[in-house]
Structures are given as C-alpha cells and as structure tokens.
Amino acid sequence: MEIIESPQEMQRLAESYRKAGLAVAFVPTMGYFHEGHLELMREGKRLADRLVVSIYVNPAQFSPGEDFERYPRDFERDRKLASTVGADVIFRPSNAQMYPPGHLTYVNVLAMTGRLCGESRPNYFQGVTTICTKLFNIVKPHLAVFGKKDFQQYQVIRRMVLDLNLDLEIVGLATVREEDGLAMSSRNVYLKPDERASALSLVKSLKAAQELYDRGERDSRTILERVRGMIEGHPGCGIDYAGIFNTETFEDMERVEGQAVLALAVKVGKTRLIDNHVFGEELRF
C-alpha cells in the first residue's frame, strides 16, 4: 500500500492506472476509521481494480467553534485498518497543498444545501463540495463510494457530479450500525457511557416512525411528534433538526408520499450526531 502526500504525485499515479485500463475506486474520508469506513472500502475494492482512500480533515467544512482541532486523528491506526481491506493507496495531503495561499475558488450546490445541515452549519456544504471536486480531480476515479448515513451530503455530491458533468459514478451504501443500532461515526468516541444510552434515541425514533408508517400513518406532523418526544425524553439530547423531507430536493413534506426521508441531527451532550431513514426501506438493528 502506497502513502502519497503530493497531489501531483497522486495525479500521475491515477493517470498511469487509467492508461493501463484499470478501474479506480475512491473513498474520501476524514480518517479515524470505523467499520462503516471499511465497508465503503470493501465495496470500492469489489467494484474496481484499484482502491484509493483519502484521509484529510477538511478545515473548510467546519464553522468557528466546531470540533476541527479535536476531531479524532490517528494515522498509524488508519493505515493498518486500510491495509486489512486491501487499499492500494492512501492519499494524505496537507492543508497547504489543498488550500494554497491565495485560494479563491469554491464550489456551491444551490437550493438543496440551504436546509438541514446546511442551515445549522453554514460553511459545511461549500467545504464538502469544494474538497470533493478537488479530490476527484486529483484521484481521477471511475467511481466514488459514500455512506448514506450522511444522506444529504450523498445527494448533494450526486447532484454536483451530474450538474458539472464529472466523469465518475457515485455509489451509495446503507448506514452501517453498531450492534446496539447506533450509526457508526468517528464522533461516537466523544460520547460518555450515559450519553451513549441517550444517543440510541435516534435510531429508536427512526424505528418508531417506520412502525407508524407501516400501520398506515402518512401525516408528517403526527410522525414527527412521536420522533421528537422519544428523543427529547432522553437526558442530554437537544434536537438541531428533525424533519421529513423529499429525498431529492430536501423540501418539507406534509405527508409521507413518494420518496421521503426522515432526517435527524441531535446534540447528545456536546456531540452532534446525525441519522436518517428513507420510509419503506428496511431498518435493521
């Protein structure tokens, strides 16, 4: 497994893969791997001849006061985990390489980024779409694999790739959960034992919403009252947002009809967690 830090070196290697007729899969990450990351890598390995994984904690997607400085980092641990799933390359650029002095160019996807995480984290999606565009141009993948836990991010990236005619496929994988149902996240390490118990209210509320849907309930307000009540009934939980949205536009839906996603962002203590469920799909935990 190669470790590459230079964007130019990564571009040269990616171009050599393409000239050799090798399909390249890409998994962009901020590191501190968990099983969810590894599952994305396994899928990339299954679908392509070469797997490139990036590790870069992107400052442009953090707002002032967020956890950029304390975001968990452990490169040696990540290197070992990536090697267990057969990653061919870890691309590990520096801030100076990704945002050189005088950097002025950013990528924005309008409309669908102004809600949910984009409302509570104003810099987030501009940072995500900009860094993904840069990484796609450096790694030159044929496909990139994203987890659907970050459902809005997944849909925004799909829209960006379509709108900009980027020459790659975006592959989405279902949320990977721990045995108790908590969606896997690098931020789970922040949770204290009592906070982890409260964090389970997210997945429990998703399950309760699906059960209401299965019994024929379609009124979003009724479903959300149940969801909010379950989450707010747990100590230390503060809801950032809890809503039912169209899966493509992220507009509010008064009734659960067609493609609808229940999306949550909740602060448990000081830790912000997200989760979601598309109605009608299977929710396992």
Would you call 37 a catalytic residue per the annotation?
yes
**Structure tokens of 263?**
């999306």
Given the residues 37, 142, 234, 277, the one annotated as active site: 37
Catalytic residues: 37
